[in-house]
Amino acid sequence: MAISHALQPLLLLLLSLFFLPAALGAFVNFTNCGLSNIDRGINATSVRINPYPLGIGENATFTITANSTINITAGNIELDTYTSTTVPLVLHRVRKTYSLCNVTACPVTPGLIVFNFPIVIPRNNRVTNQSEYFAIIRMYENIIYQTMCFAFTYPTRKP
């Protein structure tokens, strides 16, 4: 039996409600690292992962929207990701260092800023069965002072 022409748009709408969010990624809960009263120059306002959930061994993007209160012309940003069950966290770590100007428009000025971090979590027989990972993104002005720091967990799907 054929679907009537009036029901086809409704069916497409219902299907898009299920599949479109996965195609566009998803926002995840996050925290700005450390104590809330620490004055950092950049504080995250949202974290989006695309695709969601992230596939092990597949290309993905972490998009971070933040507010900046400082000017920055250059620097490096570290993204560390771990299996969420790893103790201590240094085991099974994937670290990627990005140049600031490769993940956002430079120079950074006070106001809204968007970072796009491309990432691939490599396949590893010891950790590919993990269903959740933990990520922390940091930028340092000097050895001690963190210009930004935020953390989040995200689900993965098996390859």
Using H for helix, E for strand and C for coil, what is the string for 7-39?
Answer: HHHHHHHHHHHHHHHHHHCEEECEEECCCCCCC
48 within some domain: yes
Express each pLDDT in 77-119 by its tens digit. 999 988 766 554 556 678 899 999 999 999 999 999 999 999 9
Domain interval for residue 42? 27-157
| % of the chain at pLDDT higher than 90 | 41
- What letter represents residue 151's amino acid? A
Q: Is 12 within the bounds of a domain?
A: no
Whether the CB-CB separation of 26 and 129 falls below 8 Å is answered with no
pLDDT for the residue numbered 32:
85
Domain with residue 136: its CATH number is 2.60.40.770
Candidate from 2-16, 109-123, 134-148 with smallest mean pLDDT? 2-16
Q: Which residue is associated with the tokens 């959740």?
A: 132
- Decide if 77 is inside a domain: yes
**pLDDT (mean) for 133-140:** 90
- Residue 54 pLDDT > 90, yes or no? no
Asked if residue 59 is part of any domain, the answer here is yes
Instruction: Quote the strand ranges of 13-110, DSSP E.
Output: 26-28, 30-32, 42-50, 54-55, 59-68, 76-83, 94-99
Model confidence over 59-80: pLDDT tens digits?
Answer: 999 999 999 999 998 899 999 9
Task: Specify the pTM.
Answer: 0.77
Question: Domains in the chain: how many in total?
Answer: 1
- 14 vs 135, more confident: 135
Under 8 Å between Cβ of 90 and 136: no
pLDDT classification of 55: cutoffs 50, 70, 90:
confident
